[in-house]
Chain A
């Protein structure tokens, strides 16, 4: 009895403003749905939503391409048939995929440590510069040249990200801005080299002299470069690192909550440094994959678009190394298609970037439907 009275006294104070609010917010029977946080969704429905988002992104992109003057029937032919079912084009996709996979892995590793490494392009440039320096100055005997180029690419990529990593961990300097600024500085340094002392003396074009045959990533036969094997090995390593090793466990702790991780004895700083430096090293390898695997020399704009693609690949793959490899293959296919559209229909190559951005917008937005749901509240809630 007393309890009931107490409850009656206590209740109105709590419920009345709420009810008043509800009455005001739902004047007619219009607000019959309320948004609420969804606790859990089965992976099947998640996959369905993801697929729908991807389809929506592709549909919007297709519409833009058609508006830009590509015939609609040619589009499907170009992307699906020509890219995946034509031997030569499929090899082109694999060729293009190697640096894509590497930058995608680089992005996902850094993002796992909550470090927004937007400096992938800068680290890639430095990786390529390091590899080219070994070739230019003919460091080491010929059979050791390629391993030395690997070491230089890894070292340079790693060093270029060390600065922002240190600034972020020690001083709390925003890594988004610092890594981006370092991209622009690396790009200008590259121009300084290829327009300056590293210019090819043969024809005076702004690129370095060609690498010798033993400085190139070898072909495996049938036009498949070993760069894709390199990428696959690094992907397996990343999968082991993230999924199996102790460091991967630490990374998951740090990703979830650095403070709690620290309290539980996880070496937070070392884990972040490790992930970020490895990320730089992988981006450096991507630079080597382009310079030594594709172009055969240091060129002035080889890096363009890779940084963005790396970030988007990591995001779409939710920082999962194996998923990143698959997404990178698809982005590589998009690149190859983009190049052929550029040749045949004069669609600018920036279209590739636009399509990537549209797909990311769609997928990012679809998260909303995974994390929330609309619940019917019905008319009776409004009295």
Chain B
């Protein structure tokens, strides 16, 4: 019987892991270009709200997810203008973006009456030969977004490490002065990175509302955006490590309902603390091991002021 619980647990892990994975990947893109994107929590909310709005209006999950990405990108334009052109402190701009999005999504969500409005999600998609495996086959019946997450990771990792465009993006985050001298347009690359990264963060939010819970509640991301910010530090700005970290977090979150279903008595609110406690623990562990400290993009969080170039 315990084998059943383990299988259930593993089978439900990807559903919890995908939002972390996509949000962390989006943050990696932006931070590799040197823009510290603390607004993830807010952008996830925008994605979640836009996704559910489109889902209620049209009922096409694919369209909803794309619209959510566009909405998050559009809102992040505000952040991009602040940090790239107006050179506002990136921490302040990121925090302001979170407050802005929290207020905006709660306002729009309640005015449009999308709160607690249940919608149809997307069904499971069995990965054909593997899903026929006896017992473990259930692991390979996930929704399409779970399967799509892998190629997205492949594409971004390949882009960042194997293409000349990815090299430019990283150069802008590493040493904008040198990149500028080499003829790379710093502002354009940073803008592109923020918009593309935000689209993925928005997709992560929309996954929560459209695919996972299938409804909208104000503030429903509940700190997952901040956990993703921590995850990026844990992953040392590497997509694959971020994926591993996301799976780890997914495992922990997926374990909670499984234990409850198995009748294990746990103090509910202490259990709800675990993702945050684990994030904190992971941050401490990263600091203690000090591994790859030099992998942080050199100009992360610093505005590029061309007029001050020396």
Interface residues of A in 57-113 (CB under 8 A from B): 64, 68-69
Does B155 interact with chain A (Cβ within 8 Å)?
no
Q: Which residue of B lies closest to A189 (CB)?
A: B269
Per a CB cutoff under 8 Å, which of A176, A181, A348 touches B110?
A348
Cβ contacts A340-383/B at 8 Å (1 or 0 each): 00000001101111111110110011011001100000000000
Interface of A is mostly: helix
Once A350-B107, A365-B86 are accepted as A-B contacts, the answer to whether A360 and B92 lie under 8 Å apart by CB is yes
State whether A184 and B276 are in contact (beta carbons under 8 Å apart), knowing that A172-B287, A357-B99, A368-B87 are contacts in the complex.
yes
Quick check: B287 and A356 within 8 Å, CB to CB? no
Using Cβ atoms and an 8 Å threshold, which residues of chain A touch B308? 37
With beta carbons under 8 angstroms apart, the residue of B100, B103, B110, B229 that contacts A177 is B229
Q: Which residue of B lies closest to A308 (CB)?
A: B99
What separation, in Å, do the CA atoms of A176 and B300 have in the docked complex? 15
Which residues of A are found within 8 Å of B82, using beta-carbon distances? 361, 364-365
Chain A minimum-CB-distance residue to B232: A177
Complex alpha-carbon distance, A114 and B277, angstroms: 24
Contact B93 A353 (CB under 8 A): no
Closest to A315 in B: B92
Asked if A167 CB lies within 8 Å of chain B CBs, one says: yes
Contact (Cβ within 8 A) B103 A167: no
Q: Given that A357-B103, A368-B88 are known contacts, is A192 also in contact with B267, CB under 8 Å in the complex?
A: yes
What's the Cα separation between A353 and B267 when bound, in Å?
32
Chain A 196-208, CB within 8 Å of chain B: the 1/0 string? 1000000000000
B273 interface residue, CB < 8 Å from A? yes
Q: Which residues of B contact A189 (CB under 8 A)?
A: 269, 273
CA distance A372 to B277 in the complex (A): 43
Given A177-B229, A188-B269, do A68 and B100 touch, yes or no (CB 8 Å)? Answer: no
Query: B87–A68 contact, CB under 8 A?
Result: no
- The one of B86, B99, B267, B288 that contacts A356, using a Cβ cutoff of 8 Å: B99
CA distance A54 to B263 in the complex (A): 55
A35 contacts chain B at the CB level, 8 A cutoff: yes
Which residues from A are CB-within-8-Å of B143? none
Closest chain A residue, CB of each to CB of B106: A350
A68:B111 contact, CB within 8 angstroms: yes
Give the distance in Å from the alpha carbon of A116 to the alpha carbon of B100 in the complex.
19
- The one of B87, B106, B273 that contacts A184, using a Cβ cutoff of 8 Å: B273
Query: B96 within 8 Å of A by Cβ?
Result: yes
Interface residues of B in 46-83 (CB under 8 A from A): 78, 82
Contact assessment for B267 and A361 in the assembled complex, using a CB-CB cutoff below 8 Å: no
Determine the chain A residues whose CB is within 8 A of the CB of B93 once the complex forms. Answer: 361, 364
Q: Is B298 close to A, CB under 8 A?
A: no
How far is A174 from B227 in the complex, measured between Cα atoms in Å? 12
Contact between B91 and A116, CB atoms less than 8 A apart = yes
Please state if A178 and B110 are interface contacts (CB–CB under 8 Å). Answer: no
| B96–A364 CB distance below 8 A | yes
Q: A118-B95, A361-B100, A365-B88 are in contact. Are A188 and B273 (CB under 8 A)?
A: yes
In the complex the two chains form, what is the Cα distance from A381 to B223 in whole Å? 53
User: Are the CB atoms of A195 and B269 closer together than 8 Å?
Assistant: yes
A251 within 8 A of partner (CB) = no
Contact: A360 with B96, CB < 8 Å? yes
Known pairs A185-B277, A192-B267; A350 contacts B283 (CB<8 A):
no
Interface centre among B91, B96, B288, by most chain A C-beta atoms within 10 angstroms, is B96
**B side interface size, CB within 8 A:** 48
Cβ–Cβ < 8 Å partners of B137 in chain A: none
A331 at the interface (CB under 8 A from B): no
Q: Does A36 contact B (CB under 8 A)?
A: yes
How far apart sit A36 and B103, CA to CA, in the bound complex (Å)? 35
Distance A358 CA – B75 CA, assembled complex (angstroms): 13
Which residues of the partner chain B approach A368 to less than 8 Å between Cβ atoms?
85-88
State whether B99 touches A174 (Cβ < 8 A).
no
Q: What's the Cα separation between A339 and B270 when bound, in Å?
A: 32
Q: How far is the CB of B94 from chain A (nearest CB, A)?
A: 9
| Residue B226 interfacial (CB < 8 Å) | yes
Closest to B42 in A: A357
A374 to chain B, nearest CB (A): 11
User: With a CB–CB cut-off of 8 A, which chain A residues contact B268?
Assistant: 192
Other-chain contact of A360, B99, B104, B269 (Cβ < 8 Å): B99
Task: List, in ascending order, chain A residues with CB within 8 A of B106's CB.
Answer: 348, 350, 353
Give the CA-CA distance A351 to B104 in the complex, in Å: 7
- Given A353-B99, A357-B96, A360-B99, are A174 and B267 neighbors across the interface (CB < 8 Å)? no
Interface: B212 (CB within 8 A): no
B86 touches A353 (CB 8 A): no
- Shortest C-beta distance, A45 to chain B (Å), equals 18
Contact for A174 among B88, B97, B233, B273, CB less than 8 A: B233
Return chain B residues, CB-CB under 8 Å to A176. 38, 91, 229
- Asked if B107 contacts A188 (CB within 8 A), the reply is no
Q: Please measure, in the bound complex, the distance between the C-alpha atom of A250 and the C-alpha atom of B5, giving whole angstroms.
A: 58
**A182 close to chain B: CB less than 8 A:** yes
A180 touches B223 (CB 8 A): yes
Whether the Cβ atoms of A178 and B283 lie closer than 8 Å is yes
Q: Which residues of A are found within 8 Å of B110, using beta-carbon distances?
A: 348, 350
Flag whether B238 is at the interface (Cβ < 8 A): no
B: which residues have CB within 8 A of A? 38, 78, 82, 85-89, 91-93, 95-97, 99-100, 102-104, 106-107, 110-111, 218, 222-223, 226-227, 229-230, 233, 267-270, 272-273, 276-277, 279-280, 283-284, 287-288, 305, 307-308
Known: A172-B287, A177-B233. 9 other contacts (CB 8 A): A37-B305, A171-B284, A173-B284, A182-B280, A184-B222, A185-B276, A192-B269, A350-B103, A361-B93
Can you list 30 contacts pairing A with B, beta carbon distance less than 8 Å? A36-B307, A37-B305, A68-B111, A171-B288, A177-B230, A177-B279, A180-B226, A181-B226, A181-B227, A182-B276, A188-B272, A188-B273, A189-B269, A192-B268, A308-B95, A308-B99, A348-B111, A350-B103, A350-B110, A350-B218, A352-B103, A353-B99, A354-B104, A356-B103, A357-B97, A358-B100, A364-B86, A368-B87, A371-B87, A372-B307
The 10 closest A-B pairs by CB, nearest first: A354-B103, A350-B106, A357-B100, A192-B269, A357-B99, A353-B103, A171-B287, A368-B86, A181-B276, A184-B276
